Homo-oligomer: A and B are copies of this chain.
Amino acid sequence: MDTAFAQRMNAMKPSSIREMLKMTERPDVISFAGGLPAPELFPVENIRAAAERVLGECGARAFQYGVSEGIAPLREQIAAEMSCRRVACAADDILITTGSQQALDLLGKVFIDACDVILTETPTYMAAIQAFQCFQADFRPVATDELGVIPEAVDELAAEGRARFLYVIPNFQNPTGRTLSLERRRQLAEIAAHRNLLIVEDDPYGRLRYRGEHLPPIKSFDESGRVIYLSTFSKTVAPGFRTGWIVASGPMRDKLVIAKQAADLHTSSFDQLVLDRYLRDFDNRQHVERVCAAYGERYAVMDEALRRHMPEGFSWTRPEGGMFLWVSGPPTMNAMAVLAEALAAGVAFVPGADFFPRGGGENHMRLNFSNAGSEVIRDGIARLAAICARVAGN
């Protein structure tokens, strides 16, 4: 085994989230780990109606091979949705992916050579780290504060000219729940143009806003075609369909389509048709409003329980949407030690270190609040806080 191969194998550690998902299949564990949407909110009846209509109307076509870009009617609906998000694009600028995760993989294939520099927020989404690690990316974390990644820090690193792209989650970031300010979005688009820097804007949670106003994507300020925008139906409809999309144009889009061909030919024809039918026959905006109402309440319950139970020295973010909040303990706290005890007490979360591609972050915890009901959240936070008090007190 040569070195590069061994290195890559080493870089491919199973993500804690995925391993955790297995453990959280135990029904007695209260899970604030994972990033699972609430299944009881899935629009199951309407999806069933859409699926039955597809089965009745499409016949064999629903099960045949299709084109790599994805089916045209669904791409048209996505282009219309993008214009609601203030991004002008055509169906031809949309590439359907097998979940947003595949978009990250395709970006890695097309843009990352071994040792290429990738700029990321600190901390950042662990599965993006994992996807880019497959291509032996060299991560360069960028200074980040409560308003998101700091444009001056991006500009400084971009000026070196070695960065392949900046990866950023502008809305209700994973793991922190933070949102990039409007002014910074504008500034990042300017830096992209000025420094010839590619920006990958990953927006899986943007529609899950339960307080405040939607902010326009970085892509909406992109006049130089240097912003690639990603989103998904995983949080607004259901993740089991594994259907997401990329917005990109011209030669970049063409390269991504070729990478998609090589990756899995195309995303499930049946799933695309069912989603397309569902989106045409039902008002998904209403559904998303219901989801936001429920998640907003769960967030409030978790925030209140944290206020009530967490010991001195702990703070946490106040996201206006999404599925996660980010708890910071005293500098000496080790979240892995907390996790070990928490699991014994039947509570799971993701320790912060997993979100730092170059180490650090041991005193943080990511808590998901979308997947458990209010009573369970209160119970879980009370248990977790008791452990935090004990471990952090050591």
- A258 adjacent to B114 (CB under 8 Å): no
In chain A, positions 47-93 with a C-beta closer than 8 Å to chain B are 47-48, 51-52, 55-56, 59-68
Known contacts A18-B68, A242-B268, A268-B241; is-contact A131 B63 (Cβ 8 Å): no
Task: Encode A99-135 as 1/0 by CB contact (under 8 A) with B.
Answer: 1011011000111011010000000000100110110
Count copies of this chain in the complex: 2
Q: Is A304 an interface residue (CB 8 A)?
A: no
Chain A: number of interface residues, binned into ranges: 35 or more
Separation in Å of the A190 CB from the closest CB of chain B? 23
26 A-B interface contacts by CB (under 8 A): A4-B114, A5-B113, A12-B258, A12-B262, A18-B68, A18-B265, A42-B64, A44-B59, A51-B51, A52-B52, A63-B239, A65-B234, A98-B242, A98-B267, A104-B262, A105-B262, A105-B264, A127-B262, A133-B262, A134-B259, A239-B269, A242-B267, A268-B271, A270-B271, A270-B274, A271-B271
CA gap between A296 and B130 in the complex, in Å = 46
- A14 adjacent to B265 (CB under 8 Å): no
When distances are taken between beta carbons in the complex, the residues of chain B under 8 Å from A62 are 44, 240
Separation in Å of the A257 CB from the closest CB of chain B? 7
- B261 adjacent to A264 (CB under 8 Å): no
When distances are taken between beta carbons in the complex, the residues of chain B under 8 Å from A59 are 39, 44
Task: Encode A1-26 as 1/0 by CB contact (under 8 A) with B.
Answer: 01011001100111100100110000
User: What residues of chain A have their CB less than 8 Å away from a CB belonging to chain B?
Assistant: 2, 4-5, 8-9, 12-15, 18, 21-22, 34, 36-37, 39-40, 42, 44, 47-48, 51-52, 55-56, 59-68, 97-99, 101-102, 104-105, 109-111, 113-114, 116, 127, 130-131, 133-134, 234, 237-242, 254-255, 257-259, 261-271, 274
